[in-house]
Chain A
């Protein structure tokens, strides 16, 4: 393991990205828009009563937390991995005396810091203006943070194995777009998962997408039973391990097909 090199890559990504901080802020603002719209829709629909068990203020809390979770788990790096393979820039990853995975991981960590510089102040301002209602406990906070860590791991490696399909197909990023759509539908963005129609709800409870975003939010808001919490962690861990193993398998096969175009 070459942690010294990994840390250097993170710093270099920061240095590069800070040159274009305004571009990232605009990009991140775009990513925030969809949950913000659904926050306004559902909090408005709840009115002065409750809807799906949540008041208007609780919907605002749900979506503000979801915005943070979505930003923290969203893997922008994987959108570039396909191009790195297709355009031959993977050469540099392969030539350095470190695991090639360090490169996207460093990019990912650097990206989180740059985007959070923007997201946290915006979410804080929205919290002051819109007055969310959040009733939680410390044990829920801890469990939610644990679920958040697994959610990032799962979402990153799920996107990574999809991106690695670029070894075979020129535009693997179409699959990332499909993943984003499924996250939108099943991860609690279009509506909290427990409010989805029965069929969607069943699919969301077993497929990986809910565990990438909605699951940590549900835990923090106390919208999940102790039994579902345990089952949820098991599903999340199984999907995360599956995604990691699949990534390793696809890398192993794909690298033998790599054509290193250009240069």
Chain B
């Protein structure tokens, strides 16, 4: 472990979590058999992942369902014990759950509410203020600021069960930030929210990070969240770390192709007549606009070929959309 003075805020080394899951065949016979003798399967949810995160960073932790994202977050928040490996967050070993550590972190789980269902959010916030021993003035100021940033004054006095999903998620964010954590773990904070609430939550997180320098590790299946908030992403799949770096470098590293978009000075009646570079694949065509897929290395020569052979008025070379790249990685399971 590095010393505290120069250590990153989050430091993870060979972190591994293996679940022992009971399994049986379907049917009554198998059910009776399992009562006498249960069989188990070891499921490696997280396999020897290592990374570190500096103070104030917002990092997207991405991967398909079952990749091990939430399990990792739970280990770092101290909820789960790892099977192997080590981690330090703010100089603490998370699963020791020291009070000093728990006062400085927060985890917001998109589908596990910490709000008390039958009473208004204000009451839950009050309880959390007491649990974190916040001075009354500090509690009031923080609450006012968060409520203002999220624009949720009108929901404070309604029972939580009567709130919409978006309103409840805003409440979860307030509940998670009342004690001003230095590290925030966000697990699917925009899950199931409509587009405008998603944007509002993203804007809020961005502002909050800029204002207080909170370190954020975010999981989301919405790439819009990751693109809006996280310059850096960590990609895991089947519990293994596949990529750790800048978001804009992800497509370069993972997608073996580029998109060439061109506009011709005339409409296209049939693509058969067009003289295209070898191995270029048409993936979209509309009036005089054409989108081709070409090998990454061949993109410059393909562009030159097109400019030479066709009456081009506009041409751009782009990385494919991040969603397409992610889909490819998720399906193929490797980089």
Q: Is the CB of A97 within 8 A of B111?
A: no
Contact with B along A222-263 (1 / 0, CB 8 A): 000000000000000000000000000000000110111011
Q: Is the CB of B131 within 8 A of A94?
A: no
Asked if A174 is at the interface (CB within 8 A of a chain B CB), the reply is no
CB distance from A172 to the nearest CB of B (A): 16
Q: CA separation between A140 and B111, bound complex, in Å?
A: 53
Q: Is the CB of A96 within 8 A of B119?
A: no
Chain B residues positioned under 8 Å from A5 (CB to CB): 127, 130-133
Q: Is the CB of A258 within 8 A of B127?
A: no
Q: Is the CB of A4 within 8 A of B130?
A: yes
Chain B residues positioned under 8 Å from A256 (CB to CB): 81
Q: CA separation between A9 and B114, bound complex, in Å?
A: 13
Q: Is the CB of B78 within 8 A of A94?
A: yes
Q: Is the CB of A263 within 8 A of B132?
A: no
When C-beta atoms are compared, the residue in chain A nearest to B97 turns out to be: A94
Q: A19-B118, A19-B119 are in contact. Are A255 and B81 (CB under 8 A)?
A: yes
Chain A residues positioned under 8 Å from B106 (CB to CB): 95
Q: Is the CB of B116 within 8 A of A16?
A: yes
Q: CA separation between A195 and B194, bound complex, in Å?
A: 68
Question: Contact check: which of B74, B78, B111, B130 meets A8 at CB < 8 Å?
Answer: B130
Q: A8-B126, A9-B127, A262-B111 are in contact. Are A94 and B79 (CB under 8 A)?
A: yes
Q: A8-B130, A97-B132 are in contact. Are A263 and B119 (CB under 8 A)?
A: no
When C-beta atoms are compared, the residue in chain A nearest to B124 turns out to be: A12
Chain A residues positioned under 8 Å from B92 (CB to CB): none
Asked if B317 is at the interface (CB within 8 A of a chain A CB), the reply is no
Q: CA separation between A255 and B74, bound complex, in Å?
A: 13
Chain A residues positioned under 8 Å from B131 (CB to CB): 2, 4-5, 8-9, 96-98
Contact with B along A55-95 (1 / 0, CB 8 A): 00000000000000000000000000000000011011011
Q: Is the CB of A95 within 8 A of B81?
A: no
Asked if B99 is at the interface (CB within 8 A of a chain A CB), the reply is yes
Q: CA separation between A92 and B99, bound complex, in Å?
A: 14
Chain A residues positioned under 8 Å from B19 (CB to CB): 259
Question: Contact check: which of A91, A97, A259 meets B109 at CB < 8 Å?
Answer: A91
Q: Is the CB of A4 within 8 A of B187?
A: no
Q: A8-B130, A260-B74 are in contact. Are A96 and B102 (CB under 8 A)?
A: yes
Asked if A11 is at the interface (CB within 8 A of a chain B CB), the reply is yes
Q: CA separation between A7 and B133, bound complex, in Å?
A: 12
Q: Is the CB of A260 within 8 A of B79?
A: yes
Chain B residues positioned under 8 Å from A98 (CB to CB): 99, 131
CB distance from B2 to the nearest CB of A (A): 25
Q: CA separation between A258 and B71, bound complex, in Å?
A: 12
Asked if B233 is at the interface (CB within 8 A of a chain A CB), the reply is no
Q: CA separation between A9 and B78, bound complex, in Å?
A: 21
Asked if A20 is at the interface (CB within 8 A of a chain B CB), the reply is yes
Contact with A along B59-97 (1 / 0, CB 8 A): 000000000001000100111110000000000000001
Asked if B37 is at the interface (CB within 8 A of a chain A CB), the reply is no
Asked if A142 is at the interface (CB within 8 A of a chain B CB), the reply is no
Chain B residues positioned under 8 Å from A20 (CB to CB): 118
Asked if A15 is at the interface (CB within 8 A of a chain B CB), the reply is yes
CB distance from B104 to the nearest CB of A (A): 9
**A 2-51 contacts with B by CB, 8 A:** 2, 4-5, 7-9, 11-12, 15-16, 19-20
Q: A5-B131, A256-B81 are in contact. Are A16 and B118 (CB under 8 A)?
A: yes
Q: CA separation between A260 and B97, bound complex, in Å?
A: 15
Chain A residues positioned under 8 Å from B323 (CB to CB): none
Chain A residues positioned under 8 Å from B132 (CB to CB): 5, 97
CB distance from B62 to the nearest CB of A (A): 18
Chain B residues positioned under 8 Å from A263 (CB to CB): 70, 109-112, 187
Q: A5-B131, A95-B77 are in contact. Are A12 and B103 (CB under 8 A)?
A: no
Q: Is the CB of B107 within 8 A of A95?
A: yes
CB distance from B17 to the nearest CB of A (A): 10
When C-beta atoms are compared, the residue in chain B nearest to A93 turns out to be: B79
Chain B residues positioned under 8 Å from A262 (CB to CB): 111-112
Q: CA separation between A6 and B127, bound complex, in Å?
A: 9
Chain B residues positioned under 8 Å from A2 (CB to CB): 99, 131, 133
Question: Contact check: which of A16, A88, A97 meets B119 at CB < 8 Å?
Answer: A16
When C-beta atoms are compared, the residue in chain A nearest to B104 turns out to be: A97
Q: CA separation between A9 and B110, bound complex, in Å?
A: 23
When C-beta atoms are compared, the residue in chain B nearest to A14 turns out to be: B119
Chain B residues positioned under 8 Å from A259 (CB to CB): 19, 80
Chain B residues positioned under 8 Å from A91 (CB to CB): 74, 79, 107, 109, 112
Q: A5-B130, A97-B102, A97-B131 are in contact. Are A15 and B119 (CB under 8 A)?
A: yes
When C-beta atoms are compared, the residue in chain A nearest to B112 turns out to be: A263
When C-beta atoms are compared, the residue in chain A nearest to B102 turns out to be: A97
Q: CA separation between A262 and B111, bound complex, in Å?
A: 7
Q: CA separation between A94 and B130, bound complex, in Å?
A: 16
Chain A residues positioned under 8 Å from B97 (CB to CB): 94
Q: CA separation between A4 and B107, bound complex, in Å?
A: 22
CB distance from A252 to the nearest CB of B (A): 11
Q: CA separation between A35 and B79, bound complex, in Å?
A: 42
Q: CA separation between A8 and B77, bound complex, in Å?
A: 23
Q: List 9 A-B contacts (CB under 8 A).
A: A2-B131, A12-B116, A89-B112, A91-B112, A92-B112, A94-B97, A97-B131, A263-B111, A263-B187
A interface vs B, CB < 8 Å? 2, 4-5, 7-9, 11-12, 15-16, 19-20, 88-89, 91-92, 94-98, 255-256, 258-260, 262-263
